[in-house]
């Protein structure tokens, strides 16, 4: 396929996530012909995926059609296609329908997926959270578990239906655990007749010694205490060694649970494999300081699919602001090259880390300034609303959150989507 007939410099961007979209925005008016390829037709705000999984927000509130986001940009062609490889010799991207897309400059921004540390067989029992489909699958599982419990007369089976295990206590695991606990404690009790949803067990299991390991010690301790206060059982220092349809095993303990959620490992997209480029253990491509792939000065890679050291020597974290900064940086390098200039190396600036624990509880680590509790929750909420795209979505999310805050009602409690393959 030769999509572009133009003689202008052709930039192919693979992935319209935080990094890829930012690169496309940054190239506005640069006089290049951009082709943006994504295997999904929407850009997804992953930080709020857990709110879809826990019935707080609808899918359309955190995702936008890519084509629409760039409809005003005559220099951008959006393609709905899956990339399966890169032929660097002939400067072509290979698409899943067998066609090839030529490029002058290539930007790989294909992100990452969850990984099961060599136990892929656990995935059907412990789905992770990365896409809208994952979120609606989890929402289906969580809501169906309560529905089945309502009809279950055997006390042990009912208890297993009302036990939710979350594996991994990073921000996503903490946010999921806190929200499921609040769903069971505050939102659902009035709606059921045969079960007392206050008896729901939410168990958060973490192999490391603390929750929110990326945050300062004091915020991590605060998060632990807050989770316990809202009814989450936190297990630290125990790795899960088995996941089945019946539950999990950790240490010497076997826990019967019908809903298990994976929030532990991450594996980069196969971008490094496509180019036979150096990668770390999680498959993240090791790029050069200007974010190009070693040996391929015309191929950039950004976001969750790469690893690069930050100013202190630690790897730049796999978070949205890092991917956006890299997208902007690469757009600047491409512009500079076309103008015959060179660019300084990429420098990451860390703005802070945020996590919500419950509907009035959050922690924020700005480095020297650390916030917790209700004030942190308000700042967390305002920051997330600010980063959403479009006035309608901002208003709709704000109203939903205020409704949950004031009335404990969650509007998206619908069992409508999600994969029936893994649903029970």
Ligand X SMILES: Cc1cc2nc3c(=O)[nH]c(=O)nc-3n(C[C@H](O)[C@H](O)[C@H](O)COP(=O)(O)OP(=O)(O)OC[C@H]3O[C@@H](n4cnc5c(N)ncnc54)[C@H](O)[C@@H]3O)c2cc1C
Residues that bind ligand X (CB under 6 A): 14-20, 37-40, 46-47, 49-50, 82-83, 109-111, 129-130, 171-172, 269, 303-305, 318-321, 323
175 is catalytic: yes
Distance in Å, CB of 82 to ligand X, minimum: 4
Compute the least distance from the CB of residue 411 to ligand X, in Å: 20
DSSP 243-275: E-SSEEEETTEEEE-SEEEE-SEEEE-THHHHH
Q: Minimum distance between the CB of residue 127 and ligand X, rounded to whole angstroms? A: 12
Structure tokens at 335: 């512009």
Q: Which of 163, 136, 132 is nearest to 149 (CA)?
A: 163
CB-count burial class (<10 Å; 0-12, 13-18, 19+) for 238: middle
Classify burial at 248, counting beta carbons within 10 Å of its beta carbon; exposed 0-12, middle 13-18, buried 19 or more: buried
Closest distance of CB 19 from ligand X, Å: 3
With respect to ligand X, which residue has the nearer C-beta, 17 or 231? 17
CA distance 383 to 305: 25
- C-beta of 82 vs 225, nearer to ligand X: 82
Contact (CB, 8 A) for 307 and 280:
yes
- What CA dihedral angle connects 1, 13, 112 and 271, to 10 degrees? 60
What tokens does 416 get?
């409508």
Query: In the complex, which residue's CB is closest to ligand X?
Result: 17
Largest interatomic CA distance in the chain = 74
Q: How far is residue 196's CA from residue 23's CA, in Å, rounded to a whole number?
A: 50
Token pair listed for 75? 């220099």
Instruction: Give the three-class secondary structure for 255.
Output: strand
Catalytic residues: 175
């Amino acid at each position: 396929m030769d999509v572009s007939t133009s003689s202008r410099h052709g930039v192919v961007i693979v992935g319209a996530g935080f990094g890829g979209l930012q690169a496309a925005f940054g190239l506005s008016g640069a006089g290049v012909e951009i082709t943006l390829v994504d295997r999904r037709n929407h850009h997804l705000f992953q930080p709020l995926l857990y709110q879809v999984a826990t019935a707080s927000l609808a899918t359309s509130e955190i995702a936008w059609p890519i084509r629409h986001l760039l409809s005003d940009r005559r220099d951008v062609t959006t393609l709905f296609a899956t990339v399966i490889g890169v032929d660097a010799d002939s400067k072509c991207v290979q698409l899943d329908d067998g066609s090839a897309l030529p490029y002058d400059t290539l930007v790989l921004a294909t992100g990452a997926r969850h990984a099961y540390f060599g136990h892929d067989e656990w995935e059907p029992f412990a789905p992770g959270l990365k896409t809208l489909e994952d979120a609606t699958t989890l929402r289906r599982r969580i809501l169906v578990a309560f529905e089945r419990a309502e009809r279950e007369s055997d006390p042990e089976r009912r208890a297993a239906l009302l036990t939710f295990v979350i594996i991994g206590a990073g921000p996503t695991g903490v946010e999921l655990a806190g929200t499921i606990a609040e769903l069971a404690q505050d939102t659902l009790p009035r709606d059921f007749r045969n079960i007392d949803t206050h008896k729901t067990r939410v168990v958060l299991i973490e192999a490391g010694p603390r929750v929110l390991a990326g945050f300062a010690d004091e915020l991590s301790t605060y998060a632990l205490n807050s989770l316990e206060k809202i009814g989450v059982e936190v297990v630290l220092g125990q790795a899960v060694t088995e996941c089945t349809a019946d539950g999990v095993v950790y240490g010497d303990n076997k826990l019967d649970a019908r809903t298990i959620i994976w929030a532990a490992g991450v594996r980069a997209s196969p971008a490094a494999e496509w180019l036979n480029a150096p990668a770390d253990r999680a498959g993240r491509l090791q790029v050069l300081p200007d974010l190009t792939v070693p040996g391929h000065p015309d191929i950039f890679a950004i976001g969750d699919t790469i690893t690069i050291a930050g100013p202190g020597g630690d790897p730049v974290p796999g978070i949205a602001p890092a991917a956006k900064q890299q997208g902007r940086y690469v757009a600047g390098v491409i512009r500079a090259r076309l103008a015959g200039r060179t660019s300084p190396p990429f420098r990451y600036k860390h703005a802070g880390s945020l996590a919500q624990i419950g509907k009035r509880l959050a922690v924020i680590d700005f480095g020297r300034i650390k916030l917790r509790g209700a004030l942190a929750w308000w700042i967390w909420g305002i920051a997330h609303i600010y980063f959403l795209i479009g006035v309608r979505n901002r208003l709709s999310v704000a109203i939903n959150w205020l409704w949950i805050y004031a009335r404990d009602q969650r509007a998206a409690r619908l069992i409508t989507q999600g994969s029936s393959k893994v649903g029970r």
